[in-house]
Amino acid sequence: MNITLENMFSAAAGRYPTRAESAMLTSWAATLDARIAAVHELAETEEKIVNLAAAEVMRSAPELRKRGEETQAKTARDMALVLRHCAHALLRDDVEYLDRELLVWLRSVLVGLGFQPRFLASSYRLLLIAVEECLSPRAAKLLKPYLSHCVRALGERQREAS
């Protein structure tokens, strides 16, 4: 659930919601149909999007082929996982969901496999470009903040422990 709404429901426990709390809920609900439509459009085009993005990653970094025959398929699999989590974050209208449920783990796995943050950012930027090419402008616009967050989070350098 959207963390803001979750906090609102917790604060309103045992009482009726205030007008401000009701307005927050109404605002969230007002965009739900558009978010659901974008998620359905994404689901219908996911395979095309991830295959396009994974192929572009392989073209831009041919040295990846040294990692094995399955590299492009694994890249597409990981990108599909990111898209599916972005879809859930979009439905919730909660970008922090991505950090809680996927990005911290995924980044540690990919960095542990030797991928540099700069490479991860550029790879997932290619996924964002594929989304913009394959989805309607409205759906792409709704998904962009979530994918942009993934690009930033996966591309961050870890701070050294003091």
User: For 47-78, what is each residue's pLDDT tens digit?
Assistant: 999 999 999 999 999 999 899 889 999 999 99
Q: Which residues of 109-143 are buried (b: 16+ CB within 10 A; e: fewer)?
A: ebeeeebebebbbbbbbbbbbbbbebbeeebbebb
pLDDT at 116: 95
To the nearest whole number, what is the mean pLDDT of the chain? Answer: 94
Residue 67 to residues 64, 75, 108, Cα–Cα distance (Å): 5, 11, 18
Pair of tokens at residue 60: 């831009």
Is residue 3 very low, low, confident or very high in pLDDT (cuts 50, 70, 90)?
confident
Domains of the chain, with CATH numbers?
33-155 (1.10.490.20)
CA separation, residue 115 to residues 40, 76, 106, 120 (Å):
31, 15, 11, 7
Q: pLDDT band for position 2 (50/70/90)? A: confident
Q: What is the predicted pLDDT for the residue at 158?
A: 62
**Do 75 and 123 meet the contact criterion of CB atoms below 8 Å apart?**
yes
| Residue 31 pLDDT grade (very low, low, confident, very high; cuts 50, 70, 90) | very high
Contact indicator for 87, 42 with CB cutoff of 8 Å: yes
Structure-token match 């599909």, residue found: 80
Query: pTM of this prediction?
Result: 0.90
pLDDT for the residue 157: 76
